[in-house]
Amino acid sequence: MERRIKVTFLGPVASFSHQAAVEFFGESAELLPRISFAHTLSAVQQNEADYAIIPCENSTNGAVVQTFDLLADPNNFYRDVKVCGAHYLTVHHCLLARRSVFTRPYDYGSVTKLYTHPQAWGQCESFLGADLKGIERQDVSSTSKAADIVSKDTERSAAIASRFSAGHYGLEVLKEHIEDKGDNITRFLVLRNSGSECTESGPLSDPINFRTPELSTSPVARKTLISFTVRQDTPGALADALLIFKSYGMNLTSINSRPSQKKNWQYVFFVECQGATLGEDDKAVAEILYRLQSVTEKCRHLGTWSE
């Protein structure tokens, strides 16, 4: 009997991460919620799971800093974890409440307290400012946790979460599509343990195509994520590093930075790049990493994947 793959995601159940895991891996995978970003990645590092899926950035609210802090990995906790795929989830936020608390479907004007993940506030500011201005806001670990809290709360509280969460927790949708932008999209990274035999070879070696292997021979765009730190006292050190990518024809599709956690005011830079010519990326990436060693304090290849 073929073993079901194990996938960790940021829980609790019914989170956007859960929804992304279902969309990407399908119902046949064993989906395992974890209480934090760190626990999600640790399960992969320790081979308790084959893959993890975590949010990386949102088209409205920018980078998910918890993910980049983990990828910076100052203590080398996740040395074997590599990015191997990406999934784009269209995020539609809803205002949810208990059915027994609100008598009318759109009676959200009497809400006394709101719960959601910090990322969601910034994605719904227009609605909140117009219809729920001044209402107490409570940050929680995920939008699904907000739905869970409200489902047990006897006060006139509400959650900002997904319709997916509403169905799981038995909540009423007071108003849907409250996000500022209709094309509000969150990008998730799929990660694996680079030393795992299960994910290193076989049909799961490219999770992008593991459900449709006939697509694996088609030309696809490939992206690479590289992190590095530069000397703080060297003028032009960052420019020197970035020029290496240009010399190999790499388009920089994203640049982020996070504190290194090693020295004050030193940053880890995350460069996501894409080659101009399909099929030549691997050689270019290897040469870029080699040349980066001479102009950076430390550099690391965090993964190459197909999109």
Q: What is the pLDDT of residues 73-101, one digit of tens each?
A: 999 999 999 999 999 999 899 999 998 77
Q: Give the lowest-confidence range in 192-196, 279-283, 298-302.
A: 279-283
Domains of the chain: residue spans and CATH: 6-90+184-207 (3.40.190.10), 94-176 (3.40.190.10), 222-306 (3.30.70.260)
Burial class from Cβ neighbours inside 10 Å (0-12, 13-18, 19+) for residue 55 reads buried
d(CA 150, CA 173): 12
Report the distance separating Cα 43 and Cα 262, nearest Å.
25
Q: Is the pLDDT of residue 105 over 90?
A: no
Residue 182 above 90 pLDDT?
A: no
Residue for token digits 């509403």? 166
What number is the average pLDDT over the span 290-303?
Answer: 96
Q: Where are the alpha helices (DSSP H) in 54-142?
A: 65-72, 118-123, 125-131
The count of other CB atoms within 10 Å of the CB of residue 163 is 16
CA 41 to CA 82: how far, in whole Å?
10
Q: Where are the alpha helices (DSSP H) in the chain?
A: 16-25, 37-45, 65-72, 118-123, 125-131, 143-152, 163-169, 197-200, 237-247, 281-292
User: What's the confidence (pLDDT) of residue 279?
Assistant: 52
Please say if the pLDDT value at position 72 is more than 60: yes
pLDDT tens digits, 259-281:
999 989 999 999 999 986 555 56
- pLDDT of residue 170 exceeding 70: yes
Q: Per-residue confidence at 6, pLDDT binned at 50, 70, 90?
A: very high
Please tell me the pTM assigned to this model.
0.83
Instruction: Check if the beta carbon of residue 53 is closer than 8 Å to that of residue 20.
Output: yes
Q: Are β-strands 94-98 and 157-161 bridged in parallel, bridged antiparallel, or unpaired? A: antiparallel
